[in-house]
């Protein structure tokens, strides 16, 4: 009976066995890349907000301190989203009839909060506390990036567990003097020496046990 | 086969002349090939096959329902809870993994030891191994509760920045079982290649020639092919040999590394390995005895095979009985009140009936294998094999449930009752096993054709200058 497969098809056999290794390896590598990309983490994606509030304008250009709005960042887990009243402190006087700010005024009149879209949203099983990070000398910009250069806020970090652990395992690479925490543009040329000194001074342990975040 | 024969075959035959032959006399190369390949190629599929597949497939559907409901509701549908958080899932996992071991022993160790009688049973014993490992693998995956995250068990550079806990035997298990599955699959497939080529050449249908041709991977039976084939097969046999011992040793570590009375015992690894081979040979007999009858293969799977398997079953059964004895002895000898409390609980606690049933099924009944009359009766062998299978399942039940349900603190004692879904999963996995087996019987040669041909007197190579 005639054979369906000519002997030359054996080459396909060999190539496919050999190629399968690369195909599977490549697919796994591709998945790992995809998993860390902005597509999966939403890093680098600016979010639309109910009011197009510009951090760049308020912080970078006008020089308002982070804590003017995020009042609880030094004392509690949450940095705090300001009430409409905080906006109105200024906007009752300036741009008081801008149509862009109408949702702010509407919120002020009715007492209903503006529903801002949360950009840095950790899973509910992660316990994160701003106050401890701030008081141990981790700058806002270390995690949030140059907020003072963003019109609409976007994540700059992947916010994946390996990213958290990177710092928790090597805090010396990221720690800065407490006075510089809120300075967006702070930079040192000798992080190694400064980090080692500050770790000691601030008594930073760099804990990476499960229950430090998953309580 | 390359057997650098030191002892001429005739002489070896005469050493065991009182035993039935490995192949009934009167067969030729052609008749062996015809007989085995006709089951797959030409003969009409017997009605019993359809009935068997229908029953097993219905049970597989029960498994499907059970798994679907499990995924929808979570592991709470099982009877597991604290303190018995491991129950049917682990019992059945160990049971199935154990059954697989006979296949590997037959295909690898008996090959290296040049036990020619293995030839007619190794193919379906290896298939049995694969299907048993597939059934076994289901349980730990489903017991995790979120099986879609099962890949977390593997060490890969994940976004959590974490590695699995390499000090845990449960992680070793992942490697042991996946290696086992992979090596068994390769071994089985490579062993099939020359037979797939035979089927390709003999298949009357174009589809058959295409599919078998694809799987035969261009086998032409040239001397070079045979040379490489023999080498690859031997290498794989060498690779599989340690697996016979290592896989169930690691499974036993799942228990022995814990400090629970009834688990924390040094006898566990050898006792588990012996139990695995014991259960495995019982399952091979459960399959072989009806198969040789329904497919008329008594010429190939002879009473010699059944007798040999019965002897191995008896021997490994004695190891297992020794294990039970040592557990009891150590409970007394250790002087630990927790160990002796566990033994008292086994003998007379709420699950005592299960323990005594275990001793009857696993120790008492198999003693009948001492008698030649029992070993030469297929019905008796079949019943004893079933008894061993039940006994080995009970053994795992005793180890898992009785140790867990009463540990150190009486305040945390509890009872375990299997639910309908526990049983549905178990029966369903048996259905899956037999469904795969029936499909295997229909589409692949259940006995190695080319290896059977080498057992014929005509295949003997006469050495001119010994």
Q: Which residue has the higher pLDDT, B218 or B18?
A: B218
B462 pLDDT tier (thresholds 50, 70, 90)? low
B14 pLDDT tier (thresholds 50, 70, 90)? very low
Are B113 and B129 in contact by the 8 Å Cβ rule? The answer is: no
Interchain pair B159, A162: CB under 8 A: yes
pLDDT tens-digit readout, B169-202: 999 999 999 999 999 999 999 999 999 999 999 9
For the domain made up of B26-453, give the CATH fold.
Formate dehydrogenase/DMSO reductase fold (1.20.1630)
The contacts found for B207-215 with CB under 8 angstroms, 24 or more apart, are B208/B41, B209/A1, B209/A3, B209/A4, B210/A4, B213/A3, B213/A4, B213/A5, B214/A5
Are B322 and B393 in contact by the 8 Å Cβ rule? The answer is: no
- What span, in angstroms and rounded, lies between the C-alpha atoms of A37 and A41? 6
List the single residue in A4, A36, A162 with the smallest CB-CB distance to B213.
A4
Res B3 pLDDT > 60: no
pLDDT of residue B364: 97
Res A212 pLDDT > 50: yes
pLDDT of residue A106: 94
ipTM: 0.79
Report yes or no: A125 at the B interface, CB cutoff 8 Å: no
Interchain pair A7, B218: CB under 8 A: yes
Report yes or no: B30 at the A interface, CB cutoff 8 Å: no
For residue A36, the chain B residue with the least C-alpha distance is B159
Size of interface A-B (CB pairs under 8 A): 43
The overall longest dimension of chain A from CA atoms, in Å, is 95
**A195 contact partners, CB below 8 Å, separation of at least 6:** A171, A172, A173, A174, A175
Res A9 pLDDT > 50: yes
pLDDT tens-digit readout, B331-382: 999 999 999 999 999 999 999 999 999 999 999 999 999 999 999 999 999 9
List the single residue in A3, A28, A35 with the smallest CB-CB distance to B159.
A35
pLDDT (mean) for A187-198 = 93
Report yes or no: B205 at the A interface, CB cutoff 8 Å: no
Res A1 pLDDT > 70: no
Q: Tell me what percent of the residues of chain B surpass a pLDDT of 70.
A: 94
| Average pLDDT of chain B, as a whole number | 90
Report yes or no: A4 at the B interface, CB cutoff 8 Å: yes
Interface probe, candidates B41, B155, B161, B199, chain A, greatest A C-beta count within 10 A:
B161
Report yes or no: A166 at the B interface, CB cutoff 8 Å: yes
Res A186 pLDDT > 60: yes
Report yes or no: A160 at the B interface, CB cutoff 8 Å: yes
B107 pLDDT tier (thresholds 50, 70, 90)? confident
Res B6 pLDDT > 70: no
Interchain pair B161, A162: CB under 8 A: yes
Specify the pTM. 0.88
For residue B200, the chain A residue with the least C-alpha distance is A3
pLDDT tens-digit readout, B233-283: 999 999 899 988 999 999 999 999 999 999 999 999 999 999 999 999 999
């Amino acid at each position: 009976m005639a054979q369906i497969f000519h002997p030359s098809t054996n080459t396909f056999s060999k190539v496919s066995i050999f190629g399968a290794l690369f195909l599977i390896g490549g697919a796994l590598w591709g998945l790992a890349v995809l998993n860390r990309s902005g597509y999966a983490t939403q890093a680098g994606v600016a979010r639309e907000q109910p009011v197009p509030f510009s951090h760049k304008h308020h912080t970078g250009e006008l020089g308002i301190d982070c804590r003017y709005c995020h009042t609880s960042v030094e004392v509690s887990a949450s940095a705090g989203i300001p009430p409409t009243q905080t906006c109105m402190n200024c906007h009752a006087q300036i741009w008081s009839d801008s149509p862009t700010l109408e949702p702010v005024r509407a919120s002020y009149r009715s007492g209903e909060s503006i529903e801002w879209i949360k950009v840095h949203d950790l899973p509910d099983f992660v316990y994160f506390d701003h106050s401890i990070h701030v008081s141990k000398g981790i700058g806002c910009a270390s995690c949030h990036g140059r907020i003072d250069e963003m019109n609409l806020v976007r994540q700059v970090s992947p916010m994946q567990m390996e990213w958290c652990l990177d710092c928790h395992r090597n805090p010396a690479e990221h720690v800065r003097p407490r006075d510089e925490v809120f300075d967006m543009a702070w930079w040192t040329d000798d992080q190694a020496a400064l980090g080692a000194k500050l770790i000691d001074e601030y008594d930073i342990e760099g804990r990476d046990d499960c229950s430090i975040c998953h309580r | 086969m390359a057997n650098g024969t030191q002892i001429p075959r005739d002489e070896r035959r005469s050493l065991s002349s009182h035993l039935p032959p490995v192949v009934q006399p009167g067969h030729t190369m052609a008749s062996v090939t015809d007989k085995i390949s006709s089951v797959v190629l030409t003969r009409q599929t017997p009605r019993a096959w359809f009935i068997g597949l229908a029953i097993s497939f219905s049970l597989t559907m029960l498994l499907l329902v059970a798994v679907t409901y499990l995924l929808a509701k979570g592991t709470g549908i099982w009877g597991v809870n604290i303190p018995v958080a491991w129950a049917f899932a682990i019992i059945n996992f160990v049971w199935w993994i154990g059954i697989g071991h006979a296949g590997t022993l037959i295909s690898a160790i008996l090959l290296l030891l040049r036990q020619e009688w293995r030839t007619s049973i190794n193919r379906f014993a290896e298939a049995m191994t694969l299907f048993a490992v597939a059934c076994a693998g289901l349980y730990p995956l489903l017991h995790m509760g979120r099986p879609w995250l099962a890949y977390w068990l593997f060490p890969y550079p994940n976004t959590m920045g974490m590695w699995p806990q390499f000090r845990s035997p449960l992680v070793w298990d992942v490697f042991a079982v996946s290696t086992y599955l992979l090596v068994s699959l390769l071994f089985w497939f490579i062993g099939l290649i020359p037979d797939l080529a035979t089927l390709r050449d003999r298949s009357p249908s174009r589809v058959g020639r295409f599919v078998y041709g694809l799987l035969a991977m261009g086998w032409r039976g040239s001397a070079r092919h045979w040379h490489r084939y023999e080498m690859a097969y031997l290498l794989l046999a060498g690779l599989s040999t340690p697996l016979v011992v290592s896989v169930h040793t690691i499974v036993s570590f799942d228990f022995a590394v814990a400090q629970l009375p009834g688990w924390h015992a040094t006898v566990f690894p050898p006792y588990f390995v012996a139990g695995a081979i014991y259960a495995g040979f019982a399952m091979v007999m459960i399959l072989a005895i009806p198969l040789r009858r329904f497919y008329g293969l008594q010429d190939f799977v002879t009473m010699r095979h059944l007798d040999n398997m019965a002897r191995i079953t008896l021997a490994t059964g004695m190891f297992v009985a020794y294990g039970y004895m040592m557990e009891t002895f150590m409970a007394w000898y250790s002087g630990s009140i927790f160990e002796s409390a566990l033994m008292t609980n086994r003998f007379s606690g709420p699950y005592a009936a299960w323990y005594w049933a275990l001793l009857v099924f696993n120790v008492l009944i198999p003693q009948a294998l001492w008698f030649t009359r029992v070993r030469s009766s297929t019905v008796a062998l079949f019943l004893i094999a079933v008894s061993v299978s039940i006994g080995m399942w009970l053994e795992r039940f005793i180890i898992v449930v009785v140790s867990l349900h009463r540990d150190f603190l009486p305040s945390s004692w509890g009872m375990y009752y299997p639910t309908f879904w526990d049983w549905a999963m178990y029966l369903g996995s048996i259905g899956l096993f037999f469904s795969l087996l029936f499909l295997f019987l229909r589409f692949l040669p259940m006995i190695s054709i080319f290896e059977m041909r080498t057992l014929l007197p005509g295949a003997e190579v006469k050495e001119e200058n010994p």
